[in-house]
Amino acid sequence: MRKHQGFSLIELIIVVVILSLLAVTALPRFLNITEQAEDAAVEGVAGGFAAAVGLVRAEWEIEGRPSGNDAYITMTSTKVQVNAFGFPTAGSGGSGSNLAPNQMSALACKTVFDRVMQSPVRSVVENNDASNVRYYISVESAAGSTDNGTVFDLCVYHLVATLSLNKETGIPASSDINVGNNFTYNSATGQVQVFSNNQ
């Protein structure tokens, strides 16, 4: 009968080196998957949002282009206030609170998000704790397209998982378009644009 021996020291070292090489080559791929998942999450929500904005605009055309400070359309029993261009703004429709594209606020951007999305994800407006929500909403004043000298505001929807939050307050250190992954909405043109700031 043969006596069994364990692995030699050289065999163990070779196995450890091979496993280390495999780990070094696989780790960047796993990190890249996280960034790709974050990109896909933002692109998915932005795509749904853009489609909803398009449906609001189409309904505005169908309803004969209602206009004025109380202009709204009804989508699945939800009143959505629209501006002079037929794109969603804040307000509940008929409330006299319709906003021009250069008067948007973070709260107005959240209202648009919540009203046009069929199942909006949890969100919060700027300067509030974002630690338990998926999207942090801010507004970039005078950052949108220019039409005859008028500069419009952009709604910015940030994926919270890509922001650096203050540990005590839960408020992001920065809500700039160039920080984290986000998408913007221009209520003057209906344009929705995705920004990925992965390094």
Summarize pLDDT for 119-135 with one digit per residue, the tens. Answer: 889 999 999 999 999 99
Give the whole-number percent of the chain exceeding pLDDT 90: 51
Q: How far apart are the first and last CA of the chain?
A: 61
Provide φ and ψ at 38, rounded to 5°. -65, -45
- The pairing of strands 135-140 and 123-125 is parallel
Reported as a single tens digit per residue, the pLDDT across 145-177 is 766 777 888 999 999 999 999 999 999 988 888
CA dihedral 119, 58, 124, 37 (to 10 degrees): 70
Provide φ and ψ at 153, rounded to 5°. -85, 150
- Beta carbons within 8 Å of 73's beta carbon, 6+ residues apart: 56, 59, 60, 63, 66, 79, 80, 82, 93
Task: Please report which residue ranges of the chain form alpha helices under DSSP H.
Answer: 9-62, 106-116
Q: What is the pLDDT of residue 177?
A: 86
**What residues pair up with 150 in beta bridges, in sequence order?**
147
Amino acid occupying residue 120? P
Question: What is the distance between the alpha carbons of residues 198 and 35, in angstroms, rounded to a whole number?
Answer: 7
Averaged pLDDT of the chain: 87
Q: What is the mean pLDDT of residues 14-25?
A: 86
pTM for the predicted model, two decimal places? 0.81
Q: What is the pLDDT of residue 132?
A: 96
Helix axes 106-116, 9-62, angle to 10 degrees: 90
Per-residue confidence band for 63, with pLDDT thresholds at 50, 70 and 90? very high
